[in-house]
Amino acid sequence: MNLFEYIRPASTAEAVTAASEPGAAYLAGGTNLLDLMKVGAIHPGRLVDVTRLPGLDRIEQLADGGMRIGAMVRNADIARDPIFAKAYPSVAEALLSGASPQLRNAATVGGNLLQRTRCAYFQDAASACNRRDPGAGCDAREGENRAHAVLGWSQSCIATHPSDFCVPLVALDAVVEIEGPNGGREVPLEEFHLLPGTTPERENVLGAGELITGLRLPADASGFRSHARYLKLRERTSFAFALVSAAAALRIEGETIRAARLALGGVAAKPWRARAAEALLTGAKPDAEIFAGAAEVALAEARPSGDNAYKIELAKRLVKRAFLLAAAGTPERVPALPASVFVSDTGVPTHA
C-alpha cells in the first residue's frame, strides 16, 4: 500500500534520526519530490518535513566576508536579497532564470541542489532506468535523448542535472554544509554531485539521514561581481529547463584576466566546472579569440550520448558568449529576461 508516514521534527537532530531509516526522504518545498511521488517514480515510506526546522531560513553575512544561506531559504528570497544579489549577481540571475515565480517562492536551497534529473525515462515508472532502479537498464540510450548529457556520462546513465542555481555556485566555489547521524561536515559543491559511472543511483555524496543545512559562498567569490554572468539556452523564452547553460566570471585588472571561472549546466549529471578553460584564461587579454579557445578547452572531452551532438557546438558558442558578456561587465540590475540571450543591455554585440 502506498501509505507513507509524515513527520515534522522540531530539531535538526530529530530530523536526522527520523530520516536515517531506509525509505525516508526529506520534504522541503516539495516541488520536485511530490511531483515524482504523484507520477509513481519514487515511493518514499516516510516524509520528514524540514521546512519548519529552526534556524535554517536565514541569509547571513559572515565575518570573513563570505555569505551563508540556510537550506530552507526559498529560491525567490535569495534572488531578491539585495546584499546577496550585489555580491553574487550571476547566482541571482541563475535563480531568476529558473522555473516560474510560483515555484521559486516554494523551492528551497536544499531542494534545488537535490532536485532530480528531468530525464523523461527517470520520471516514467514504466521505463527502465538505472538511476531509479539499479541494473534495470537505461531507456534513454535509444530514446528521446536530444537534451541529454555530452560530458561525464556513462553507459549506465546519460542524464543531466537540471539546476540553474548550482551552475554559478559551482563556479564560485560554494560549500555545502551537512548534518548527519555522525555529526556535521562540509563538502565543496563541485564534489557534491556524482557522475554516474556504474552507479548512477548514487547521485551525490549524502549518506543515509544526511541533511543539507546550508550553503556557503567564500569571501573571494564576490571578487567576480563586476564581471559575472549566467546565460541559459532554452526552448522557450522563460519557464523551461536549460538545454545548455554557462556561468562565466572574470576578475579583470587593466587589460588582463587575473582569474576566471566557468561552469556549465545541462551538459552532465553534475554542474560542470571547467578548470582547464579557467587556466587558459588566467593572465590572458579578454577578447573573443581567447574566449573561443576557452570554449574549445571546456568541451574538449564532450561526446554525444544520443541525438545531441548539436549540444556540443552550442555549448562552445554559449561559453564564448557568456565570457564576452561577463567581460563587458555585470549589468546594474538583473535583466528583465534573466539569463536570456535576448537581453543585452551591456551593449555587447552578439556577433562579436
Ligand X SMILES: Cc1cc2nc3c(=O)[nH]c(=O)nc-3n(C[C@H](O)[C@H](O)[C@H](O)COP(=O)(O)OP(=O)(O)OC[C@H]3O[C@@H](n4cnc5c(N)ncnc54)[C@H](O)[C@@H]3O)c2cc1C
Q: CB-based burial of residue 257 (10 Å sphere; 0-12 exposed, 13-18 middle, 19+ buried)?
A: buried
Q: Supply the minimum distance, in Å, between the C-beta of residue 99 and ligand SF4.
A: 20
Q: Convert residues 38-77 into a mask of x (bound to ligand X by CB under 6 A) and - (unbound).
A: ------------x--------------------x------
CA distances from 59 to 1, 121, 163, 214, 235 (A): 41, 36, 20, 10, 33
Range 184-243, binding ligand SF4 (CB under 6 A)? 200
Name the grid cell of 164. 540553474
Range 98-137, binding ligand X (CB under 6 A)? 98-99, 103, 106-108, 110-112, 114-115
Q: Convert residues 308-327 into a mask of x (bound to other proteins by CB under 8 A) and - (unbound).
A: --x--xx--xx-xx------
Place of cell 545548455: 244
Query: Does residue 127 interact with other proteins by CB under 8 A?
Result: yes
E strands, the chain, in order:
5-7, 24-27, 46-49, 59-61, 67-70, 175-180, 183-188, 211-217, 228-233, 244-253, 256-265, 272-273
One of 88, 122, 192, 241 touching ligand X (CB under 6 A):
241
Can you tell me the distance from the alpha carbon of 278 to that of 293, in angstroms, rounded to the nearest whole number?
Answer: 11
Range 72-111, binding other proteins (CB under 8 A)? none
Q: What share of the chain is helix, strand, coil (3-state, %, to 5)?
A: 30, 20, 50
Which residue from 163, 166, 160, 156 is spatially nearest to 147, judged by alpha carbons? 160
Q: Convert residues 184-213 into a mask of x (bound to ligand X by CB under 6 A) and - (unbound).
A: ---------------------------xx-
Residues that bind ligand SF4 (CB under 6 A): 117, 119, 121-122, 129-131, 138-140, 157-159, 200
Residues that bind other proteins (CB under 8 A): 1-2, 39-40, 118, 120-121, 124, 126-127, 139, 142-144, 146, 233-240, 243, 310, 313-314, 317-318, 320-321, 337, 340-342, 344, 347-352
